Amino acid sequence: MGIALVVYASVQIASNNTIYYFTTTEATTNLNVGNSERIKLGGFVENDSIEKKMDGITSFFITDGNEKIEINFDGFVPELFQEEMGVILDGFFKDGVFYSDDMLVKHDNEYISENGDTYDVKTYSK
Protein backbone atom coordinates (compact mmCIF):
# COMPACT_ATOMS: atom_id res chain seq x y z
CA MET A 1 0.00 0.00 0.00
CA GLY A 2 2.83 2.41 0.87
CA ILE A 3 4.62 1.85 -2.43
CA ALA A 4 1.42 2.52 -4.39
CA LEU A 5 0.96 5.79 -2.52
CA VAL A 6 4.55 6.89 -3.29
CA VAL A 7 4.14 6.01 -6.99
CA TYR A 8 0.80 7.86 -7.18
CA ALA A 9 2.26 10.95 -5.48
CA SER A 10 5.27 10.92 -7.82
CA VAL A 11 3.06 10.76 -10.92
CA GLN A 12 0.88 13.60 -9.63
CA ILE A 13 3.90 15.82 -8.91
CA ALA A 14 5.41 15.13 -12.34
CA SER A 15 2.15 15.85 -14.17
CA ASN A 16 1.66 19.08 -12.21
CA ASN A 17 5.13 20.28 -13.31
CA THR A 18 4.56 19.57 -17.02
CA ILE A 19 3.78 22.58 -19.20
CA TYR A 20 2.02 21.93 -22.48
CA TYR A 21 2.42 24.49 -25.25
CA PHE A 22 2.10 24.89 -29.00
CA THR A 23 5.17 25.22 -31.23
CA THR A 24 5.27 28.02 -33.79
CA THR A 25 4.52 25.55 -36.59
CA GLU A 26 1.53 24.12 -34.71
CA ALA A 27 0.27 27.62 -33.98
CA THR A 28 0.55 28.82 -37.59
CA THR A 29 -0.72 25.69 -39.35
CA ASN A 30 -2.96 23.64 -37.05
CA LEU A 31 -4.24 26.00 -34.39
CA ASN A 32 -7.67 27.54 -34.76
CA VAL A 33 -8.17 29.96 -31.87
CA GLY A 34 -9.98 33.25 -31.79
CA ASN A 35 -8.47 36.60 -30.91
CA SER A 36 -7.92 36.99 -27.17
CA GLU A 37 -8.12 33.22 -26.49
CA ARG A 38 -5.11 32.53 -24.27
CA ILE A 39 -2.67 29.76 -25.11
CA LYS A 40 0.92 28.80 -24.31
CA LEU A 41 3.37 29.20 -27.19
CA GLY A 42 6.94 27.89 -27.21
CA GLY A 43 9.96 28.46 -29.38
CA PHE A 44 13.48 29.82 -29.61
CA VAL A 45 14.26 33.54 -29.73
CA GLU A 46 15.65 34.47 -33.14
CA ASN A 47 19.01 36.21 -33.49
CA ASP A 48 18.94 40.00 -33.90
CA SER A 49 15.19 40.17 -33.29
CA ILE A 50 14.97 41.58 -29.73
CA GLU A 51 13.85 45.19 -29.60
CA LYS A 52 12.86 47.20 -26.52
CA LYS A 53 10.20 49.71 -27.57
CA MET A 54 9.52 53.14 -26.06
CA ASP A 55 6.24 51.98 -24.50
CA GLY A 56 8.05 49.25 -22.50
CA ILE A 57 7.06 46.42 -24.84
CA THR A 58 9.78 43.93 -25.72
CA SER A 59 9.36 42.80 -29.31
CA PHE A 60 11.07 39.72 -30.79
CA PHE A 61 10.49 36.68 -32.98
CA ILE A 62 10.42 33.03 -31.92
CA THR A 63 10.79 29.97 -34.11
CA ASP A 64 10.80 26.19 -33.97
CA GLY A 65 13.09 26.12 -37.00
CA ASN A 66 10.21 26.07 -39.48
CA GLU A 67 7.82 28.93 -38.74
CA LYS A 68 8.42 32.20 -36.93
CA ILE A 69 6.01 34.37 -34.99
CA GLU A 70 6.31 38.00 -33.90
CA ILE A 71 5.97 38.47 -30.14
CA ASN A 72 5.01 41.63 -28.25
CA PHE A 73 5.84 40.99 -24.60
CA ASP A 74 4.58 43.28 -21.84
CA GLY A 75 5.84 41.89 -18.55
CA PHE A 76 8.87 41.07 -16.46
CA VAL A 77 11.73 39.94 -18.70
CA PRO A 78 13.72 37.17 -16.93
CA GLU A 79 17.49 37.62 -16.54
CA LEU A 80 18.19 34.52 -18.65
CA PHE A 81 16.24 35.88 -21.64
CA GLN A 82 18.49 36.16 -24.69
CA GLU A 83 18.80 35.25 -28.37
CA GLU A 84 18.62 31.52 -29.22
CA MET A 85 17.10 30.86 -25.77
CA GLY A 86 13.97 28.74 -25.53
CA VAL A 87 10.91 30.47 -24.11
CA ILE A 88 7.34 29.54 -23.30
CA LEU A 89 4.91 32.44 -23.47
CA ASP A 90 1.35 32.76 -22.19
CA GLY A 91 -0.82 35.09 -24.25
CA PHE A 92 -3.04 35.49 -27.29
CA PHE A 93 -2.94 36.18 -31.02
CA LYS A 94 -4.22 39.40 -32.54
CA ASP A 95 -3.74 40.17 -36.24
CA GLY A 96 -0.97 37.57 -36.57
CA VAL A 97 1.08 38.91 -33.63
CA PHE A 98 1.32 37.03 -30.31
CA TYR A 99 0.77 39.30 -27.28
CA SER A 100 2.14 37.93 -24.03
CA ASP A 101 2.48 39.05 -20.43
CA ASP A 102 4.04 35.92 -18.94
CA MET A 103 7.33 34.27 -19.97
CA LEU A 104 9.23 31.20 -18.84
CA VAL A 105 12.81 30.83 -20.01
CA LYS A 106 13.85 27.27 -20.73
CA HIS A 107 17.53 26.65 -20.10
CA ASP A 108 18.04 22.94 -20.75
CA ASN A 109 18.49 21.24 -24.10
CA GLU A 110 15.01 19.89 -24.89
CA TYR A 111 11.44 21.03 -25.27
CA ILE A 112 8.52 18.67 -25.59
CA SER A 113 5.40 19.97 -27.32
CA GLU A 114 1.86 18.94 -26.43
CA ASN A 115 1.86 16.22 -29.11
CA GLY A 116 5.12 14.75 -27.77
CA ASP A 117 7.54 16.15 -30.37
CA THR A 118 10.94 16.91 -28.86
CA TYR A 119 13.00 19.85 -30.18
CA ASP A 120 16.73 20.24 -29.68
CA VAL A 121 17.88 23.71 -28.62
CA LYS A 122 21.10 23.64 -30.61
CA THR A 123 19.68 22.58 -33.97
CA TYR A 124 15.99 23.65 -33.78
CA SER A 125 15.16 20.14 -34.95
CA LYS A 126 13.03 17.21 -33.88
**CATH number for the domain harbouring residue 68:** 2.40.50.140
DSSP state at residue 57? -
Q: In this model, does residue 19 exceed pLDDT 80?
A: no
Mean predicted confidence (pLDDT) in 99-118? 73
Per-residue pLDDT at 50 exceeds 50: yes
State the Rg of the chain over Cα. 16
In a domain, 48, yes or no: yes
Q: Is residue 7 part of a domain?
A: no
Average pLDDT for the chain: 79
Q: In total, how many domains does the chain have?
A: 1
8 assigned to some structural domain: no
Once rounded to an integer, what is the mean pLDDT over residues 54-67?
Answer: 94
Q: Please indicate, yes or no, if residue 25 is contained in any of the structural domains.
A: yes
Is 11 inside any structural domain? no
Name residues whose C-beta falls within 8 Å of residue 15's C-beta, 6 or more positions apart in sequence: none
